[in-house]
Structure 1
Amino acid sequence: MKLSYVYILKCSYDSYYTGITSNLSKRLEEHKAGRYIESYTYKRRPLELVFYAEFTDISMAIQTEKQIKKWSRAKKEALINGEFDKLPNLAKKKFNH
C-alpha cells in the first residue's frame, strides 16, 4: 500500500506552506536544500515541519491539502497544535457588531 502525506512547514518569515508528497523525508530535504528555485519555500528557509498526516487514498490526500490551503492561519495553528475541538468554530465567519 502506497502512502501519501499532507504536510505543513513553518517558514522563516513566519508563514505556513502546505504540500503533498509520497515521500515525506525526501520532499523535506528538497525544501530545505532549496532544490526548486521557483518554490514558495525557496526564499523562506529555514523551514520546520510542524504537521503531517498519512493517507492511503491519494485522492483524499489531495482533497485535504486543498482544504487546508484555504484555511485561516488560526485554523492551521489549531490543527498543528492538535486542538481539533477548535476547528469547527474557526471555520465560521466573524461578523463585526
Structure 2
Amino acid sequence: MENNHYFYVLHCQDNTFYGGYTTNLARRLQEHNKGIGAKYTRLKKRRPVKMIHAEAYTTRSEATKAEAAFKKQTRRQKESYLKTHPSLPLPDQTS
C-alpha cells in the first residue's frame, strides 16, 4: 500500500470542492484541517473539510493527472464526476 498514490476530493465548509494528491489520505486530511495543508484550505472559512472521494493510482503521474483534470471541470461536472466514479473507503473523520 505504500506505493499507492491518491487523488482525493475534499468538501469544504464554504461548500466548495478541493482536489489534491497524496500518498497518505488520513495524514493529508489532518493537515488540511489543522490549516497546514494547501493554501486553499488554510482559510478559516473553508475548514473543517471533509474527505468525500478518493481514488488510488499506481504512479504519482496518473494521480496528479486525475487531480488536474478534476480541477478544470465546472462545479456541475465535478458533482457528476463524484456521482459516477467509485471512491475508496475514506479515513475516519469523526475527530
Same-fold call, TM > 0.5? yes
Letter of the structure 2 residue corresponding to residue 69 of structure 1: K
Give how far 1:70 is off. 0.2
Give how far 1:13 is off. 0.8
Pairwise CA RMSD of aligned residues?
A: 1.8
- What TM-score, normalized by structure 1, do the two folds share? 0.77
Cross-structure match for 1:34: 35
Identity of aligned residues (%): 34
**Residues 59 and 83 (structure 1), Cα distance of their counterparts in 2 relative to 1, 3 Å cut:** closer
Alpha-carbon displacement from aligned partner over 1:30-81 (angstroms, at most 9, x marks no partner): 0011124x61011110111111100112111111111111011111111222
| Greater gyration radius | 1
3-state SS of 2:73 partner: coil
Q: Distance in 2 between matches of 1:83 and 1:40?
A: 24
Cross-structure match for 1:74: 76
- What TM-score, normalized by structure 2, do the two folds share? 0.78
The alignment of Structure 1 onto Structure 2 pairs a total of residues equal to 83
Q: Which runs of 4+ in 1 moved over 3 A?
A: none
Cross-structure match for 1:21: 22
3-state SS of 1:25 partner: helix
Cross-structure match for 2:5: 4
Q: Distance in 1 between matches of 2:18 and 2:85?
A: 19
3-state SS of 1:41 partner: helix
3-state SS of 1:64 partner: helix
3-state SS of 1:66 partner: helix
Give how far 1:25 is off. 0.7
Unaligned stretches of 5+ residues in structure 2: 87-95
3-state SS of 1:28 partner: helix
Q: Distance in 1 between matches of 2:76 and 2:59?
A: 27
Give how far 1:82 is off. 2.7
Give how far 1:83 is off. 6.5
